[in-house]
Structure 1
Amino acid sequence: MRSVLCALAVTIILILSFNKLVYDDMPVANATIVLTEVNRHKQDVKSILMTDSNFSDLSFFDTMLKNNRILMLGEMMHNDGETFKAKARIIRYLHEHLDYDVVLYEAGQYDMWMMNAQMDTLMDKSQEKTIGGTGLFDFWWQNQENQPLLTYYKKTKSTDRPMILGGFDIQFSGSGLSNKRTKLLEDFLLKNGIDSTKYPLLKKNRNRLEYLTYEPFASKRLNANEKKQLLAELDELNRRIRSGVKDSEHLIYSRYLSDMKHNFDKSWRYKTGSMQSMHFRDSLMAENLTYQIDSLYAGKKIIVWCANIHSFSAPYNKDYRPLGTYLKRKYGAQAYSLDFTSYGRYDKTGRVVDRVGKLAVENVFHATKSPYFFLDLRQLPNNSMFKQRFSSVINQGIDEERKWHEFIDGIFYIDINKDPIYR
């Protein structure tokens, strides 16, 4: 009995020691040196409120982005409410002071085209609070944090420098279009004299297009041959549309059908969340994005809104090449990747939870006692520790050791993040 109790006591001591080792605030290697370097190079940001018009704290962007054309604004998680606020204030500054007039989201290419068109002509003020649902994923518009930005977009539409919104994803994103997709597509085909009955599987499944992106549902509705047939019908209809008038509406519907086909193909071929699925999607997002940068918005400065991991400018591993690698290869130094990270987040009671592990550099960032700051990795000297391998949770809160300067150009640090306030 005594040996059992001793073993139990040892186990408890080991568990408590492990918890302290992993979760207590403990310095990373050479923490004092790293802290000195961070304090030397960081640019303190005094506010993340979009309504704060004293932009002196963001003036470092003037030099940093002097020769930049594409700024990728990442986010560690899609529920980082404080990051949403900071991105909105940055976008306002870039628009008003540095002539960035286009914001392209990691959202459906067709859906965001529809949202932008509706915002251009929106007259009913009661619809302003829900227009985000036309193009954006719900987590980017159904919260208080992003409403000021959507209002700002709408306000610019009546100025001589309206902001243009777009998307580059192959996925369906706007829940506000869920009950309208079929009619919009059928109206377009009817208007252009295209017989929808020549595409029987598409016509048969026209009211469940979004559901078909879920492989288990698709497999219940379609056998292997029918899946191939549906993809072939989308290809054939796309060719039919491309052979018609080359106006903007034909172009977007052509790309819409192409995205739809690729979205189904991805969902049916790869496991959701797998590296293969991510790679397939990012390669197509890159194709959509570079097309828009070079053709639709040639000569314009562009902001790209996406998750941190999509902005990485080096391959994540042998199976996954993120969107940012394509942009960096094509546009070089004209593309800047700015990603966000945090030390922890507030829960509903105001306690700090989800704190980083002991190896993460965010421990040192936390020790600066700065609520917000920016660190430009691109401009640091080659002997900087930030040009070596270091651990960070910048990728979805996962503690990873990498040469992060090869993946991102700059870090925007928000000490404690929190969930958005959903409406």
Structure 2
Amino acid sequence: MKKILYSFIISVISIFVLNKIVYQEIPEKDTKEQLAEIQRYKHPVKSISMESSDNSDLKIFDSILKDNKVLILGENTHMDGSTSEAKSRLIKYLHENMNYNVVLYEAGQYDTWIMNEEMKDHKLKTSADSIGGLGLFEFWWNAKEAQPLIRYYQKTKTSATPIEVGGFDIQFSGGTLAFKRGKLLKDFLSRNNINIKTFPIFNKRIDELPHFIYKKYVNKVLKGNQKNEFLQELTKLEQAVLKLDKTPENMMYARYFNDIKNNITKNWKYKPGSMPSMQFRDSLMARNLIHQIDSVYKDKKVIVWCANIHSFAEGYSKEYLPLGSYIRNKYGKSSYIIDFSSYAQRNETGSISDRPGKFAIENIFHKTKTPYFFLNLRNIPESSFLKKEFVSTINQRIDMKRNWSRSFDGIFYIDTNTVLTPITK
């Protein structure tokens, strides 16, 4: 009985000590010092609206990005409406003042190419308010916060300095393109005298390609060795296209067949969201992006639009090197990464949610009482706590402790973010 009592007492003491360690308050002195340091280095941003006529608050980027070639703009989640607005305003400023004429999205390489072509020539007769759906995932075009930027892209097409919009992902992204894929592929192969009937599985399933990322569907329609045969057909189609003249269209279709094969392979081989799946996708996104930067848009400044987690310049884990790490390794200091973070989120009903845990730096940011500000981590002394490990919710609102200055160069802070507002049709 005494042994049980002693064990119980030891357990209670252990729990008490553990709680003191895990849930200890940050000393008030440290909080004040951190707040003072953030106040010293923060650069207030007056507005996130593209309609803002006073751009004096963005002039800071004239010096920060003076020698920049690749600017990566992250986002905490794809549903952050205020972040979409802030990125849109920044893109407009950089286009009009710093000669950034290319924006590449974490979206299908082929889909965004079709979208960009349609913005120029309108051969598909897509309406102006739906044109973004040819290339982008819905959250990047079918929202009130996103539409001003889509309209701006289209407006620039008739100017002396049009914005070229593209992508680098291996995934299918354009929902509006879904029912046009098969016809576009058939038309391309026919124009170039490539006999689609010599690729029997592809020919039969050409209108079902987006379904092939689902293993259950594939296992139902492809039997025996047909899965391998289908992948081999995609490889042969790519090789057939590569034998054509090296026109921009032909090269894009060759890369499209390669992306289709890799996208399907990823979904057949890896568990969705797993680190091996992320590694496979990011390595290929990096390959596509570097090709776009070095070949398609050589000698041009490029803006990259993606999620924060893909932007990180440091390895996320032993299994996963994000896209940003390849870009930093390739372009060094001529690449600059800005990630976005917030204290909380206001949802459709107006209520506030997703506040950070009490150790997160976003609590200190909130205490500055500044709705929007920017921190340039590159110019902050190495002795600063901002150059050491600290907790942040900058990765999908998860409290994580890392040396974040190794993952990105700047933080764009939006105190209370909003969810995207879908456009009702």
TM-score (norm 1): 0.93
The equivalent of 2:234 in structure 1 is 234
Displacement of 1:415:
0.3
Check the 8 A contact 1:42/1:373 in 2, yes or no. Answer: yes
1:259 and 2:262 are equivalent in the alignment: no
SS in 1 for 2:234: helix
Residue pairs, 1:105-184, within 5 angstroms: 105-122=105-122, 127-184=127-184
CA distance in 2, matches of 1:87, 1:78: 12
The equivalent of 1:386 in structure 2 is 386
The equivalent of 1:362 in structure 2 is 362
Displacement of 1:217:
1.5
CA distance in 2, matches of 1:126, 1:248: 22
1:336 and 2:333 are equivalent in the alignment: no
Label 1:322 to 1:102 Cα distance change in 2 as closer, same or farther (>3 A): same
CA distance in 1, matches of 2:124, 2:249: 24
The equivalent of 2:11 in structure 1 is none
Unpaired segments of 5 or more residues in structure 1? 1-13
The equivalent of 1:71 in structure 2 is 71
Displacement of 1:201:
1.0
Label 1:272 to 1:70 Cα distance change in 2 as closer, same or farther (>3 A): same
How far does the alpha carbon of each residue in 1:235-294 deviate from its partner, in whole angstroms, 9 at most, with x for none? 011101101111111100000000000000000000000000000000000000000100
The equivalent of 2:85 in structure 1 is 85
SS in 2 for 1:165: strand
The equivalent of 2:9 in structure 1 is none
The equivalent of 2:397 in structure 1 is 397
TM-score (norm 2): 0.92
Displacement of 1:296:
0.7
The equivalent of 1:11 in structure 2 is none
Report the residue type matching 2:301 in the other structure.
K
Displacement of 1:122:
3.4
Displacement of 1:139:
0.9
SS in 1 for 2:110: helix
CA distance in 2, matches of 1:349, 1:160: 43
Check the 8 A contact 2:118/2:126 in 1, yes or no. Answer: no
CA distance in 1, matches of 2:389, 2:228: 46
Check the 8 A contact 1:26/1:363 in 2, yes or no. Answer: no
CA distance in 2, matches of 1:45, 1:382: 25
Label 1:244 to 1:122 Cα distance change in 2 as closer, same or farther (>3 A): closer
1:38 and 2:42 are equivalent in the alignment: no
Report the residue type matching 1:219 in the other structure.
N
Displacement of 1:121:
1.8
Is the deviation greater in 38-47 or in 223-232? 223-232
How far does the alpha carbon of each residue in 1:36-87 deviate from its partner, in whole angstroms, 9 at most, with x for none? 1100000000000000021000100001011111000000000000000000
The equivalent of 2:318 in structure 1 is 318
Report the residue type matching 1:190 in the other structure.
S
Displacement of 1:408:
0.7
Report the residue type matching 2:403 in the other structure.
K
CA distance in 1, matches of 2:224, 2:82: 45
Q: List 4+ stretches of structure 1 deviating above 3 A.
A: 25-29, 122-126
| Seq. identity, % | 50
Label 1:277 to 1:124 Cα distance change in 2 as closer, same or farther (>3 A): closer
Report the residue type matching 2:295 in the other structure.
S
Displacement of 1:220:
1.9
CA distance in 2, matches of 1:75, 1:290: 21
Label 1:210 to 1:126 Cα distance change in 2 as closer, same or farther (>3 A): closer
Displacement of 1:223:
3.8
CA distance in 2, matches of 1:28, 1:236: 65
Label 1:109 to 1:36 Cα distance change in 2 as closer, same or farther (>3 A): same
Report the residue type matching 1:140 in the other structure.
W
Unpaired segments of 5 or more residues in structure 2? 1-14
CA distance in 2, matches of 1:257, 1:292: 16
Displacement of 1:28:
8.3
Label 1:186 to 1:376 Cα distance change in 2 as closer, same or farther (>3 A): same
The equivalent of 2:202 in structure 1 is 202
Check the 8 A contact 1:28/1:363 in 2, yes or no. Answer: no
Displacement of 1:350:
2.0
The equivalent of 1:6 in structure 2 is none
Is the deviation greater in 224-233 or in 128-137? 224-233
1:103 and 2:103 are equivalent in the alignment: yes
SS in 2 for 1:415: strand
Displacement of 1:347:
2.4
Check the 8 A contact 2:118/2:124 in 1, yes or no. Answer: no
